[in-house]
Amino acid sequence: MAEVAIQTDTVSAEPILDVQNLAVSFRSDEGRVRAVVGVDFQAHRGKTLGIVGESGSGKSVSTKAVMQLLPGNAVIEAGSSIHFQRSEGGPVDILTLGKNSPAMRAIRGGDIAMIFQEPMASFSPVYSVGNQMTEAIRLHRAVGHREAREIAVEMLGRVGLSNPATQVNQYPHELSGGMRQRAMIALALSTRPALLIADEPTTALDVTIQAQVLELMGELQREFGMAMIFITHDLGVIAQIADEVAVMYLGTIVERGSVDEVIRNPAHPYTQGLRAAIPDLSSIEGRLIPVGGDIPNPLERPRGCPFHTRCPKRIPGTCDAESPAVTTLSPSHSVRCYLAQ
Amino acid sequence: MEPLIEIRNLKVHFDRVRAVDDVSFDIPRGQTLGLVGESGSGKSTIGRSILRVQNVTDGSIRFHNGAEPVELTTLRGQRLRDFRRHLQLIFQDPYASLNPRMTVRDIISEPLTANGLVRDTNQVNQRVQAMARRCKLNVEHLRRFPHAFSGGQRQRIGIARALVGHPEFVVCDESVSALDVSIQAEILNLLMDLQQELGTTFMFIAHDLSVVAKISSLVAVMYVGDIVELAPTRNIFFAPKHPYTSALLSAIPRINPSANFQPVKLPGEVPNPAALPPGCRFQTRCPHARERCRNEAPAWREIDQDHFVACHFAGELALRGADDSLPAQALN
């Protein structure tokens, strides 16, 4: 009996999404661009994983791989795996499914939903918001047209639109930016996904609307118990919404851990540099401390630690020779850096 | 503070939409005025009006260089073209704002040649190289085309182009918002250094309030076409007098949120600028609105030295600033 109890316990702590050793490269005229280089991350029910990174860090590519939304010139390297626990039908390795297979189409938008930075680009301009929502709901849930429409109106109300019964008939251009972003969240959540991937969902929004959207996402997460992956370049947003954070640089996770540990006590020189470069309201006078240097061209990926070309603490002969292994600093904090070893 | 630009009763209307609705303020010489507010509040329209790329409906923009102030709104033809050398703009997107078919040298030199400031090619080259060095660009690379540069380097090219002719006044419209955080700090430092060296006056438009706090000496807060508060940066951020400013500050995501962190929730939506509510334009969402706010538009008044606000109850309300280490009751 005890054994059974232990087993059920481990099952509930099992991640809903388990990405192992994911490597993605792109074929281009100038050669092979390695966008993601052996990345592991997990998403848990009711929890939010924040992924922080700048342009070219591979944060969007990693999550698009989960949705099988990568463009045709992308190659997922052998040895990568993306295990997902479907709510019906048990665990699957997403990478073994065809891009357009029935299972993948059921997962994409059904079990896993995604929202993007620019809501105008994610809605079709020629159909009303309600039309697009009912289409998605009926694709993924066994309901009739009328019921789907009721769900759509209810979800628009849940995300705080003032007059959902009217707004459901409006076209995307008739809504303001903040309303559109909330309508997109309603669309994504109307299929009751087990995992929501949000790629810079608040970056284009004004601060007051950003605050509303973040609070709303937290509320809906608590209500539906879904797992969330939140991609952003803003450490302030991460501090507010995430439980765990992974910091990416040039296709590698350089540091990860609980938000408290990584943001309060960053161990990687890149995370430390990012923190110092952000203007802080507690010291508004004086100069900023830039990270220095530029993000390398992805075609000329540096040898060794990817950050060594900009790192103020690099050890010549070590950091530029071999990529550092993961060092565990605490049960919930790890870093890839020779200085931590 | 000696003004470089005095703006009085500026109005820019697009049919019934009042994009800028009777705005008056000064921009002090050699300093940076930050302009914040939500999208659609009229920030860029003010910047574009001063640059004379937007016609104004009414009001006056007086520019003080030389003995006699120049009224910008009525400048026409050759006099306007001659005046343009004093005005410049740094754009948001370093990928869209550089001509891909021009070399970097030609891009940076264009304000000098187009405005007829320097005619001798050697002198043009010297000026371009000097400004490129100041902007930390490699002079060896001036013959290259923009595609060979990273986002941060491109933005430095855009800054070099804007400042090569030593303009008096430069509008930075979201000039660092498209950059990665690790690059953004460097560009902000560069702008502050160049201002010190050249004495340029900047108007810095941005939606990122922490960035604005860093670079500005004064900050103006806009709400649907009107400036509701203007004060020295420290006052705006730590002793705001307008409820909208306070709500904006409360919504900035904090890296180290304290237990007191709580964004002020503004009910409803931003009003349609073609159908503003009666009285104060913020009354439909203001947590402190009273009867008077619904009937009477508040006057623009100086509540403290250099601290201007448009609110009937400014000074009476307990408002919190960006410093949320204090509980709300401890303020005022």
In this predicted model, what pLDDT tens digit does every residue of A39-95 receive, in sequence order?
999 999 999 999 998 888 999 999 999 999 999 999 999 999 999 999 887 899 999
Q: What is the DSSP letter of B55?
A: -
Chain B residues whose beta carbon lies within 8 Å of the beta carbon of residue A211: 250-251, 253, 263, 265
Contact B269 A289 (CB under 8 A): no
Q: How confident is the model at residue B325 (pLDDT cuts 50, 70, 90)?
A: low
Window B:303-332, CB contacts with A under 8 Å: 322-323
User: What domains lie within chain B, and their CATH numbers?
Assistant: 3-216 (3.40.50.300), 240-330 (no CATH)
Window B:135-154, CB contacts with A under 8 Å: 150-153
Residue percentage of chain A with pLDDT more than 90: 63
Window A:187-226, CB contacts with B under 8 Å: 206-212, 214-215
CA distance B88 to B159: 10
What are the b/e assignments for A200-237, b being 16+ CB within 10 Å? bbbebbbbbbbbbbbebbeebbeeeebbbbbbbbbbbb
ipTM: 0.84
What H or E segment, with its residue span, contains residue B301? strand B301-304
Residue of A nearest to B272 (CA): A176
Residue percentage of chain A with pLDDT more than 70: 96
Flag whether residue A48 sits within 8 Å of chain B, measured between CB atoms.
no
pLDDT for residue B182 is more than 90: no
Cβ-proximal residues to B68 (8 Å cutoff; 6+ apart), any chain: none
pLDDT for residue B115 is more than 80: yes
pLDDT at B332: 35
CA distance A98 to A90: 17
Shortest CA gap B289–chain A (Å)? 19
Q: Find, among A333, A336, A328, A329, the residue nearest to A307 by Cα.
A: A336
Q: How many CB atoms lie within 10 A of CB A246?
A: 25
Contact B39 A206 (CB under 8 A): yes
Shortest CA gap B55–chain A (Å)? 26
Chain A residues whose beta carbon lies within 8 Å of the beta carbon of residue B93: none
Backbone angles phi, psi at B121, to 5 degrees: -60, -40
Higher pLDDT, A286 or B312: B312
CA distance B285 to A40: 45
**Rounded (5°) CA angle A249-A250-A251:** 95
**Where does residue A16 rank: exposed (0-12), middle (13-18), buried (19+ CB within 10 A)?**
buried
To which residue do tokens 């410093």 refer? B323
The one-letter amino acid code at A227 reads: A
Contact A281 B323 (CB under 8 A): yes
pLDDT at B324: 64
Q: How many CB atoms lie within 10 A of CB A121?
A: 9
pLDDT for residue B256 is more than 80: no
What are the b/e assignments for A258-275, b being 16+ CB within 10 Å? bbebbbeebbbbbbbbbb
Residue in A179, A284, A288 nearest the CB of B185: A288
What are the structure tokens assigned to A152, written together?
Answer: 């759509």
Flag whether residue A13 sits within 8 Å of chain B, measured between CB atoms.
no
pLDDT at B180: 84
**Rounded (5°) CA angle B269-B274-B277:** 60
pLDDT for residue A12 is more than 50: no
pLDDT for residue A180 is more than 70: yes
pLDDT tens digits for range A112-130: 999 988 777 788 999 999 9
| pTM > 0.90: yes or no | no
Residue in A54, A287, A297 nearest the CB of B181: A54
Higher pLDDT, B327 or B315: B315
Contact A290 B209 (CB under 8 A): no
CA distance B322 to B236: 9
CA distance B125 to B117: 13
Fold (CATH) for A16-111+193-340: Rossmann fold (3.40.50)
Flag whether residue B181 sits within 8 Å of chain A, measured between CB atoms.
yes
CA-derived radius of gyration, chain A: 21
Give yes or no for a contact between B155 and B185, defined as CB atoms under 8 angstroms apart: no
Label the pairing between strands A333-336 and A326-330: antiparallel
Q: What is the DSSP letter of A298?
A: G
Contact A274 B181 (CB under 8 A): yes
pLDDT at A3: 39
Shortest CA gap A63–chain B (Å)? 20
Residue of B nearest to A202 (CA): B253
Window B:60-89, CB contacts with A under 8 Å: none
Q: How confident is the model at residue B259 (pLDDT cuts 50, 70, 90)?
A: low
pLDDT tens digits for range A244-256: 999 999 999 999 9
DSSP for B109-168 reads: HHHHHHTTS---HHHHHHHHHHHHHHTT--GGGGGS-GGGS-HHHHHHHHHHHHHTT--S
Residue of B nearest to A234 (CA): B181
pLDDT tens digits for range A288-325: 888 888 888 878 889 999 999 999 999 999 999 999 99
pLDDT at A241: 92
Shortest CA gap B95–chain A (Å)? 14
pLDDT at B178: 81
Contact A208 B192 (CB under 8 A): no
Q: Could you tell me the residue ranges of all domains in chain A? A: 16-111+193-340
Poorest-confidence range of A113-122, A143-152, B212-221? Answer: A113-122
Q: What is the DSSP letter of A139?
A: H
Contact B266 A208 (CB under 8 A): yes
pLDDT at A9: 36
